[in-house]
């Protein structure tokens, strides 16, 4: 069962093999794919770090721009920190604490507004959020199937397989994965992609080519089966 009273609506938690591997870009592409499928779709980034003097964060702004509706910012991003550093360090420096129950409640409010919701994690799957909690805990308490974004570069196979193990250790379903070509010069791309397809126990939802827009990338993505 997913968090909230609208558990039958499609929703996924988008995680990645590392930071800076294109989670936000893929989220935006998936939002466009959902909208092309006739669904109103919105994304939330529960924890974001790195805000300018005007209180703006690039990732949050991009998710809002790709969403079907413009909900209140506090629903899209309940925890925002000024410094572009690890969230548990940023929270400590600002004298704040990331509370998972608050994120769950916020997600439920956002889910009530749209047909489908994407929840973008922060950094990799196990990034700390505070004393005794991390991004994996957030995925677990939300009880959402996961979409894994694999940043296609040297070392991605190891990172992807370790992330899959961490997801399985939480008994969470991996609904699918996206290969994001963050390194257009990656050597032996096809061979690496094949190795991942053989070893990841989830369907490949698509390959995002370097230099595309989210709208263009959406055309090459297929959505995970609902509830998986």
- Condensed to tens digits (0 to 9), the pLDDT of residues 30-75 reads 999 999 999 999 999 999 999 999 999 999 999 999 999 999 999 9
For 132-147, how does the pLDDT look when each residue is reduced to its tens digit (9 = 90+)? Answer: 999 999 999 999 999 9
How high is the pLDDT of residue 227?
53
How high is the pLDDT of residue 130?
95
3-state secondary structure 7-69: CCCCEEEEEECCCCCCHHHHHHHHHHHHHHCCCCEEEECCEEECCCCCCCCHHHHHHHHHCCC
Query: Which residues of the chain are under the pLDDT cut of 50?
Result: 1-5
How high is the pLDDT of residue 14?
98
Positive or negative, the CA dihedral 224, 29, 143, 196 is: positive
Structure pTM? Answer: 0.94
A 10 A CB-CB count for 202 gives 19
Residue ranges of the binding site:
20-25, 59, 120-123, 180-181, 215
Tokens of 195: 């190795």
Q: What are phi and psi of 54, to 5 degrees?
A: -95, 5
Do residues 34 and 163 make contact, with C-beta atoms less than 8 angstroms apart? no
How high is the pLDDT of residue 225?
80
- Catalytic one of 9, 45, 82, 228: 45
Tokens of 54: 């005007």
How high is the pLDDT of residue 128?
97
Structural domains in the chain, sorted by start = 11-148+169-184+201-220 (3.40.50.300)
Tokens of 17: 């093999």
Residue ranges of the binding site for ATP:
20-25, 59, 120-123, 180-181, 215
Tokens of 53: 């003097």
Residue ranges of the binding site for Mg(2+):
24, 59, 120
Q: Please give the sequence-ordered ranges of beta strands (E in DSSP) within the chain, or none if there are none.
A: 11-16, 41-44, 47-49, 79-81, 116-120, 128-130, 133-134, 146-151, 174-180, 204-208
Residues making up the chain, counted from first to last: 228
228 has catalytic annotation: no
């Amino acid at each position: 069962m997913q968090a909230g009273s609208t558990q039958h609506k499609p929703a996924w938690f988008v995680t990645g093999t590392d930071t800076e591997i294109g989670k936000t870009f893929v989220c935006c592409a998936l939002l466009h794919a959902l909208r092309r499928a006739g669904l109103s779709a919105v994304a939330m980034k529960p924890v974001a770090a790195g805000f300018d003097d005007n209180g703006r964060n690039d990732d949050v702004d991009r998710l809002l721009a790709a969403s079907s509706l413009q909900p209140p910012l506090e629903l899209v991003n309940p925890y925002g920190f000024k410094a572009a550093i690890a969230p548990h360090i940023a929270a400590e420096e600002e004298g704040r604490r990331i509370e998972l129950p608050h994120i769950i409640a916020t997600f439920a409010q956002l889910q009530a507004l749209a047909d489908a919701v994407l929840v973008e994690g922060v950094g990799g799957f196990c990034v700390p959020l505070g004393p005794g909690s991390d991004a994996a805990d957030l995925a677990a308490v939300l009880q959402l199937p996961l979409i894994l974004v694999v940043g296609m570069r040297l070392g991605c196979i190891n990172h992807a397989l370790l992330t899959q193990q961490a997801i399985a250790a939480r008994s969470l379903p991996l609904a699918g994965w996206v290969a994001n070509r963050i390194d257009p010069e990656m050597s032996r791309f096809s061979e690496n992609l094949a190795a991942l397809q053989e070893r990841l126990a989830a369907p490949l939802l698509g390959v995002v080519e370097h230099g595309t827009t989210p709208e263009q990338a959406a055309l090459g993505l297929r959505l995970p089966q609902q509830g998986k």
